[in-house]
Structure 1
């Protein structure tokens, strides 16, 4: 069936490109497998093996560590090689590592397999970011990234819910094998991408990995807007993960029943989906960095409001609380999606793997360090404290970014005048 642009709303126009449609179609089973894995791994460690919080935390560390450690190697590989090959290989490697979970006799061996699986994920994410501008018209980058983020948010909603149902009817080992099958399905879909999916400006001369990675760092340093966006995203991840894992405690602190927890998480995820669609529909011609600033300001106020509800300063019925979480999800899309557009627009195709890997590594490092700090803050000052700190810090940081953006614009005007 041929899809024409006239039949599609603006937010869905990238789907009229068959090759991009194939990439996004492969992302569905790939992302779904990630969320099913997370649920099944948590159930294995916490319920089947009866291990404590430290073991569960070690899973999060194992999932994030490869993004930090492998960033230089992954970045250079993405810029050197065909994206089709990398996307397929990463899903095959992920399938093998996920199937190996079945063989893990203890936590230590399981963590080794989780690190291997996350290493494949660390390769898939920058390769996908490098492939999107190669498959998309320049004026549809925001819509294409919005669709990619929407898929991620949808699977974030469906995956844990489906995982909870599957745990009732299947053995955990069977779920791991099913997840391995999903990654293989993604690899099969990606086989339809064209060969030679890489920048025409890719340098064929091979140098040391460290030298090529430094080229990416040098490019970031010479692009103030890009460097600011990467640092802003990393700091944004840090602030998000200060409170992200404490939603259950916040719901309990407010006095809501545990039944509202699932609705709260689903509301935030649904907000991310709607926010992605709104961005693609109405914001294609807007400055992506300005979108990040506006979303950071709005999101910060909303997060702080959640903290005030948790502290008892504001009374809020459950339905309104879910609406608040929904609005927070909408604002979060305004951070994640425009950031990828800034990265893709400010980086030549032959460097995008290295630049994306730097961004992923810094964000992963923030994700690793923030949760224990947030937990400690909650222990000292109450569960609402991480929400208040994160919310107000996000809003203030967004205002600082506005000033930085104005300085960058003035610098560019002076350089253009010279």
Structure 2
């Protein structure tokens, strides 16, 4: 592929993949560490830790996007990788729950700054329009693959080693990622067209609020978060306490959700050539409503089993992919090229804002009220998010046509009435 013939992009993409897998392995190991420290209340600990993660993402990501053009980007990416590697290396040494919260805060602050910086670097390295689109797609595929392979790798590793070694491997991965970033030639950032930091930090969010299809995506973010929080937060206690599984079983159950995500992601490119993104994404929302409702119903009736859990987790993975995978396409069709980084940064922040709502519900309510109540509440939220998306995102949403103005180098969005037959 011509894209991967670009040396700097190849190194930077490899760094992203390694960091993604490091984050995935850390998530699995963190759940097991929380179980060792808190036992039946591991869901509450993990939910609190992940809530801290979401706060960092919501607050820091827009600020990083605002100031990324003022900092040496390669140095910043390297420093952030080193910080993450050091924090992960310290995680297996802790003995108190509060220490998890402190280290997770530091780890996720670095990750929240890394992502918008990485997204801003891509258009500076990949200048061809078609290659840039492929680069964004490749990043999405990498994220999808990580959701499947990280739990699988963790499951294999946990068959012959302690989960503490996962932290060590993750730390080494972040350092390798830093070396790969260091080997790239990243040009200096072009100054933002927004002069004030507040304008730079909020411009992408204002775009979301003023664009009907993007307001629909905001509602769909909530649907993804409701189902995903069940998998991420509650799997460890559900498998260990209710199903009597092992540490490796936790990772394999997480892999079931990742398998559903991967299967859907492999089929979706051809589907999106024939069906609108709105149809695919709202269908995914319906799948997630069905999955969360089934989980709540079966656990309330005491009928959920190993097989039932695996099936529901796989269905949830499929539904999440149906929403997440087309999102980049919709974002690219809704703004000009110069606004893509800030729009992606806004989606990064707004999607994690939805997780900030659902993680505490899954963790705290799950530990105190039980899974039947918790999953019922999350199923209701999934239904509300789906209904909101259908109302906010017009059915006949014209394809966005983007034109380039010669001076200044800005892109203006307009809607072509002749393309009402198929949405972006």
Q: Decide whether aligned partners of structure 1 residues 294 and 20 sit closer, same or farther in structure 2, where only a CA change above 3 A counts.
A: farther
- Normalised by the size of structure 2, how large is the TM-score? 0.74
1:32 aligns with 2:21: yes
Structure 2 residue matching 1:283: 3-state secondary structure: helix
- After superposition, the C-alpha distances for 1:203-226 in whole angstroms (9 at most, x for unaligned) are 367844223224334433443333
Residues 58-207 of structure 1 correspond to what in structure 2 (within 5 A)? Answer: 58-80=48-70, 84-101=74-91, 106-132=96-122, 135=126, 137=131, 140=134, 143-161=137-155, 164-165=158-159, 167-168=161-162, 172=164, 175-196=166-187, 202-203=190-191, 207=195
Q: Decide whether aligned partners of structure 1 residues 145 and 301 sit closer, same or farther in structure 2, where only a CA change above 3 A counts.
A: farther
| Equivalent residue, structure 1, for 2:204 | 216
1:228 aligns with 2:216: yes
RMSD of aligned alpha carbons: 4.2
The structural deviation recorded for 1:44 is 4.2
The structural deviation recorded for 1:372 is 3.6
The structural deviation recorded for 1:276 is 2.1
Distance 2:298 2:54 in 1: 31
| Equivalent residue, structure 2, for 1:11 | none
- After superposition, the C-alpha distances for 1:12-69 in whole angstroms (9 at most, x for unaligned) are xx65665544333223321222233334444445426879545444322332221122
| Equivalent residue, structure 2, for 1:10 | none
1:278 aligns with 2:272: no
Is the contact between residue 20 and residue 146 of structure 2 (CA under 8 Å) also seen in structure 1? Answer: yes
The structure 2 residue matched to 1:331, chosen from 319, 335, 354, is 319
Distance 2:262 2:225 in 1: 22
Is the contact between residue 35 and residue 159 of structure 1 (CA under 8 Å) also seen in structure 2? Answer: no
- After superposition, the C-alpha distances for 1:114-134 in whole angstroms (9 at most, x for unaligned) are 212111110222233444566
Residues 275-354 of structure 1 correspond to what in structure 2 (within 5 A)? Answer: 275-280=264-269, 283=272, 287-312=276-301, 319=307, 322-354=310-342
The structural deviation recorded for 1:239 is 2.4
| Equivalent residue, structure 1, for 2:408 | none
Q: Decide whether aligned partners of structure 1 residues 20 and 147 sit closer, same or farther in structure 2, where only a CA change above 3 A counts.
A: farther
Q: Decide whether aligned partners of structure 1 residues 380 and 214 sit closer, same or farther in structure 2, where only a CA change above 3 A counts.
A: closer
1:268 aligns with 2:257: yes
The alignment of Structure 1 onto Structure 2 pairs a total of residues equal to: 396
- After superposition, the C-alpha distances for 1:316-375 in whole angstroms (9 at most, x for unaligned) are 885576344323312211211221332344344444443333333333232232234356
Is the contact between residue 289 and residue 339 of structure 1 (CA under 8 Å) also seen in structure 2? Answer: no
Distance 2:170 2:305 in 1: 38
Q: Decide whether aligned partners of structure 1 residues 139 and 84 sit closer, same or farther in structure 2, where only a CA change above 3 A counts.
A: same
| Equivalent residue, structure 1, for 2:405 | none
Q: Decide whether aligned partners of structure 1 residues 252 and 111 sit closer, same or farther in structure 2, where only a CA change above 3 A counts.
A: closer
The structural deviation recorded for 1:76 is 0.9
The structural deviation recorded for 1:180 is 1.9
For structure 2, list consecutive stretches of 5 or more residues without a partner in the other structure: 401-413
1:385 aligns with 2:386: no
- Normalised by the size of structure 1, how large is the TM-score? 0.75
The structural deviation recorded for 1:183 is 0.1
Distance 1:264 1:339 in 2: 26
Structure 2 residue matching 1:38: 3-state secondary structure: helix
